[in-house]
């Protein structure tokens, strides 16, 4: 089964809850692989929590680069090239939207933004403050999908 890359959102050595939702939301598309981009010496500590919440594989990229958000884009772009994932999932936030957009334009991937539900064939958006439910598909390999909180129940590993 193909793998799905999930960018791990973390702050002060803690994985954010949105990441656990993504690990569960990825299941219709493939096996979740967590991607951690963090300063040296900090990434490894997150691994146990990620495995417990269903990550089948973890990529750790430790960097002391200070260029803003660019290390995340570079690491994900390299993994899109080498791992040919079924999709890349990123939690919705100001930073997440920006990383996702840059990754999509750099890798020629369809960008599906602020998704509320992920299905095996398509994703669902909510448009104009919930006035419409819009289903969409990507026409490219490895679409980049940003996911709103609440898109999936947090799981505790293999289901």
Q: Which residues bind another protein (CB under 8 A)?
A: 67-69, 73, 93-95, 97-98, 100-102, 104-106, 108-114, 122, 127-128, 130-140, 143
Rounded to a whole number of angstroms, the minimum distance from the CB of residue 90 to another protein is 10
Burial of 95 (0-12, 13-18, 19+ CB in 10 A): middle
The upper half-sphere exposure of residue 80, i.e. CA atoms within 13 Å in the direction of its Cβ, equals 24
First to last CA, the chain: 15
Q: Is the dihedral of CA 39, 43, 49, 51 positive or negative?
A: positive
Residue nearer to another protein on the CB measure, 55 or 112 = 112
Rounded to a whole number of angstroms, the minimum distance from the CB of residue 66 to another protein is 10
Residue nearer to another protein on the CB measure, 49 or 111 = 111
Rounded to a whole number of angstroms, the minimum distance from the CB of residue 158 to another protein is 27
CB atoms near residue 134 (< 10 Å) = 13
Residue nearer to another protein on the CB measure, 40 or 128 = 128
Rounded to a whole number of angstroms, the minimum distance from the CB of residue 9 to another protein is 10
Q: What are the CA-CA distances from residue 89 to residues 12, 40, 93, 154, 155 (Å)?
A: 22, 24, 12, 15, 16
Residue nearer to another protein on the CB measure, 63 or 124 = 124
Rounded to a whole number of angstroms, the minimum distance from the CB of residue 141 to another protein is 10
Query: Do 120 and 135 form a contact (C-beta atoms < 8 A)?
Result: no
Residue nearer to another protein on the CB measure, 58 or 86 = 86
């Amino acid at each position: 089964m193909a793998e799905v890359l999930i960018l791990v959102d973390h702050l002060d050595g803690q994985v954010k809850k949105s990441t656990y939702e993504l690990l569960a939301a990825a299941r219709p598309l493939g096996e979740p692989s967590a991607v951690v981009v963090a300063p040296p010496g900090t990434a490894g500590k997150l691994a146990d929590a990620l495995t417990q919440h269903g990550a089948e594989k973890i990529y750790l990229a430790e960097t002391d680069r200070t260029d803003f958000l660019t290390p995340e884009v570079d690491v994900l772009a390299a993994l899109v090239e080498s791992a040919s994932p079924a999709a890349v999932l990123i939690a919705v936030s100001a930073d997440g939207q920006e990383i996702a957009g840059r990754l999509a334009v750099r890798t020629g991937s369809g960008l599906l933004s602020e998704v509320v539900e992920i299905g095996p064939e398509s994703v669902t958006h909510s448009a104009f403050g919930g006035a419409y439910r819009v289903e969409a598909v990507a026409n490219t390999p490895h679409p980049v999908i940003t996911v709103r909180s609440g898109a999936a129940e947090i799981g505790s590993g293999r289901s």
